């Protein structure tokens, strides 16, 4: 009879099955984000926006497997700041390696999908005007220097936010939402505003695509949040329900603000749902259902106002990464200090549940530290690449559109560059134009 290794016997098949599904759900969020962002830009840069998300999957995966996972989740090496390189190249990890009740290789892949979408989120702040070549260099550098250290602080063994400060973050308000939002702000300051910012109409070109992307994001978010329980258990169920509830109140809160302005919009509905989902990400494993409803509503209302700050403060955050992800992430992370319940956390309680101001203070310190670190380091990376490679597309490329000038493709004009059926030279010019149209 074949002997089953002791480590393999510790793997729970139910937990593993759920985490496999959750990992696939989170990976799907990046194509969903590509559609969400792609619908929000103008027709001349749709493919470039899609590519910035899709290429992040490949770039971050290579970096994560080479060193990122080990630095984020390896044993602490520098006083809670970063892990060691014991598992560089996934060395020492095999089918029988276990993290809790799931295979370590699966846990590493699940965490990889978080890193992927965080990098892709940043691209929304610099839509329409970034050099694709510079983005290819930026993503791996940013993943190693910004995302990986913050992931270790929050989730890694010995990380200072987790072990020393005691701030709570169930599924990524700090390493995903606040990091991407602060980094997006830094990059849009490095690149400067788009041509015609505050003068030309820069409306979303395809709202059905935006809604489809938002729907895929919402669908994947259940894996993002409930999957962070790392098991098929009651905590996963609570996080799942909290995620649904906050997305709903976020949508309603945003539409309430728009209704007062006169026109509830499809873009507002999609953005409100995402704002609620962003805010519940850190808190879904810490707050009750009532808390989740309030967190989502607060994010929907506040973020609907925050997206307009860029016009007053003169920073061109193209697709509202700052207004939704940074602001929503801050709201959700701070409100843990208000609504956290012992029934969910197993100990820590928020202000409204008898915990005083202690937990709120811890959350505030974590938010400030992560936001400042992500902004400063990203600004430095952006400035360096701008000096060495040029990060901003030139004026002609931006006016013509990055789809044609960078990728030699067009999303909609199928008669351009050989994408449509060739038109015979014997066809009159007017008929050629009609055929190509």
Q: What is the pLDDT of residues 262-313, one digit of tens each?
A: 999 999 999 999 999 999 999 999 999 999 999 999 999 999 999 999 999 9
Identify which of 296, 294, 318 has the alpha carbon closest to the alpha carbon of residue 192: 318
| Dist. CA 147–CA 154, nearest whole Å | 11
| Conformational region of residue 71, where left means phi above 0, alpha means psi within -120 to 50, and beta covers everything else | alpha
Identify which of 429, 409, 347 has the alpha carbon closest to the alpha carbon of residue 166: 347
- Produce one character per residue of 236-262: b if its CB has 16 or more CB atoms within 10 Å, e if not: bebbbebbbbbbbbbbbbbbbbbeeee
What's residue 414's pLDDT?
53
- Produce one character per residue of 400-421: b if its CB has 16 or more CB atoms within 10 Å, e if not: ebbbbbbbeebbebebeeeeee
| Dist. CA 225–CA 337, nearest whole Å | 19
φ, ψ for residue 181, nearest 5 deg: -65, -45
Identify which of 277, 279, 268, 224 has the alpha carbon closest to the alpha carbon of residue 248: 277
What's residue 5's pLDDT?
47
What's residue 428's pLDDT?
37
With 0.85 as the threshold, say if the pTM is over it. Answer: yes
Q: Are 53 and 120 in contact (CB under 8 A)?
A: yes
Q: Are 150 and 180 in contact (CB under 8 A)?
A: no
How far CA 113 is from CA of 51, 82, 116, 131, 239, in Å, comes to 17, 19, 5, 24, 18
What's residue 418's pLDDT?
43
Cα torsion angle, 66, 70, 73, 76, sign: negative
Those residues whose C-beta lies under 8 Å from the C-beta of residue 135, and which sit 6 or more positions away, are: 52, 55, 123
| Dist. CA 270–CA 339, nearest whole Å | 26
| Dist. CA 431–CA 405, nearest whole Å | 27
Those residues whose C-beta lies under 8 Å from the C-beta of residue 112, and which sit 6 or more positions away, are: 60, 61, 64, 65, 68, 69
DSSP assignment of 14-78: HHHHHHHHHHHHHHHHHHHHHHHHHHHS-GGGHHHHHHHHHHHHHHHHHHIIIIIHHHHHSPB-S
Q: What is the DSSP letter of 197?
A: T
How far CA 246 is from CA of 284, 383, 436, in Å, comes to 9, 37, 47
- pLDDT tens digits, the chain, 437 residues: what are they? 334 444 444 899 999 999 999 999 999 999 999 999 999 999 999 999 999 999 999 999 999 999 999 999 999 998 999 999 999 999 999 999 999 999 999 999 999 999 999 999 999 999 999 999 999 999 999 999 999 999 999 999 999 998 999 999 999 999 999 999 999 999 999 999 999 999 988 999 999 999 999 999 999 999 999 999 999 999 999 999 999 999 999 999 999 999 999 999 999 999 999 999 999 999 999 999 999 999 999 999 999 999 999 999 999 999 999 999 999 999 999 999 999 999 999 999 999 999 999 999 999 999 999 999 999 999 999 999 999 999 999 999 999 999 999 999 999 975 444 444 443 333 333 333 333 33
Measured from the Cβ of residue 369, the count of other Cβ atoms closer than 10 Å reads 18
Tokens representing 399? 């006016």
């Amino acid at each position: 009879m074949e002997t089953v290794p002791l480590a393999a016997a510790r793997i729970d098949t139910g937990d593993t099955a759920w985490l496999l599904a959750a990992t696939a759900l989170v990976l799907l969020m990046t194509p969903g984000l590509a559609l969400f962002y792609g619908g929000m830009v103008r027709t001349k840069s749709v493919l470039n926006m899609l590519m910035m998300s899709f290429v992040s999957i490949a770039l971050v995966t290579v970096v994560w497997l080479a060193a990122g996972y080990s630095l984020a989740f390896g044993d602490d090496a520098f006083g809670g700041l970063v892990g060691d390189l014991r598992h560089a190249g996934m060395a020492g990890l095999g089918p029988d390696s276990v993290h809790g009740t799931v295979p370590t290789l699966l846990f590493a892949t699940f965490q990889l999908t978080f890193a992927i979408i965080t990098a892709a989120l940043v691209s929304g702040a610099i839509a329409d005007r970034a050099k694709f070549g510079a983005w290819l260099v930026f993503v791996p550098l940013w993943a190693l220097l910004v995302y990986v250290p913050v992931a270790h602080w929050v989730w890694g063994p010995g990380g200072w936010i987790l072990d020393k400060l005691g701030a709570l973050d169930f599924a990524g308000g700090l390493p995903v939402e606040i990091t991407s939002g602060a980094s997006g702000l830094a990059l849009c300051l490095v690149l400067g505003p788009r041509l015609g910012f505050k003068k030309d109409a820069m409306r979303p070109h395809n709202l059905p695509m935006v809604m489809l992307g938002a729907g895929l994001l919402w669908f994947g978010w259940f894996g993002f949040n409930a999957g962070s329980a790392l098991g098929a258990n009651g905590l996963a169920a609570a996080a799942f329900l909290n995620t649904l509830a906050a997305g709903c109140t976020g949508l309603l809160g945003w539409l309430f603000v728009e209704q007062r302005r006169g026109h509830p919009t499809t873009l507002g509905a999609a953005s409100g749902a995402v704002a609620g989902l962003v805010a519940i990400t850190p808190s879904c494993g810490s707050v009750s259902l009532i808390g989740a409803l309030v967190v989502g509503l607060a994010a929907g209302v506040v973020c609907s106002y925050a997206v307009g700050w860029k016009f007053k403060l003169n920073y061109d955050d193209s697709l509202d990464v700052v207004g939704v992800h940074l602001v929503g992430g801050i709201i959700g992370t701070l409100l843990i200090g208000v609504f956290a319940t012992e029934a969910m956390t197993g100990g820590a309680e928020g202000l409204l549940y008898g915990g005083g101001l202690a937990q709120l203070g811890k959350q505030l310190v974590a938010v400030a530290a992560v936001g400042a670190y992500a902004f400063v380091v990203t600004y430095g990376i952006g400035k360096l690449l701008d000096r060495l490679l040029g990060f901003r597309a030139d004026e002609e490329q931006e006016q013509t559109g990055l789809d044609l000038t960078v990728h030699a493709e067009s999303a909609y004009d199928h008669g351009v560059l050989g994408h449509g059926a060739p038109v015979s030279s014997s066809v009159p010019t007017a008929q050629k134009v009609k055929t190509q149209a």
